[in-house]
Amino acid sequence: GIQVEQSPPDLILQEGANSTLRCNFSDSVNNLQWFHQNPWGQLINLFYIPSGTKQNGRLSATTVATERYSLLYISSSQTTDSGVYFCAVGGSEKLVFGKGTKLTVNP
């Protein structure tokens, strides 16, 4: 089945710093989503981005489908950005999740 690898596994930042999270996947996909899991366990949809570039406030994402990777950019990080960021990819049946990047933003 499709494999999803996220890097780095852990990231510690000072408030105000920028960061880039990466997601590599092993096959062509129809769906790629980025999620933020907050400390209470809730999954928050960030982007649906099987290809191209999208921006939402301080967050943006780019997926290069032909090269099978996606990047999530966080600019001017805030303590509320802390949590785990998941990339999930798939087709019509299911999503396969990576193991996530745990982000800690210190004040």
Partner 1 sequence: DADVTQTPRNRITKTGKRIMLECSQTKGHDRMYWYRQDPGLGLRLIYYSFDVKDINKGEISDGYSVSRQAQAKFSLSLESAIPNQTALYFCATSKTGVYEQYFGPGTRLTVT
92 binds partner 1 (CB under 8 A): yes
Number of residues that bind partner 1 (CB under 8 A): 23
> What is the spatial order of strands in the sheet that 69-74 belongs to?
4-7, 19-25, 69-74, 59-64, 52-56
Q: Which stretch binds partner 1 (CB under 8 A): 13-21, 28-36, 51-59, 67-75?
A: 28-36
73 binds partner 1 (CB under 8 A): no
Tokens 């193991």 belong to which residue? 99
3-state helix vs strand vs coil in the chain, percent to 5: 5, 60, 35
Q: Are 15 and 106 in contact (CB under 8 A)?
A: yes
30 binds partner 1 (CB under 8 A): yes
Residues that bind partner 1 (CB under 8 A): 4, 30-31, 33, 35, 41-43, 45, 48, 50, 86, 88, 90-95, 97-100
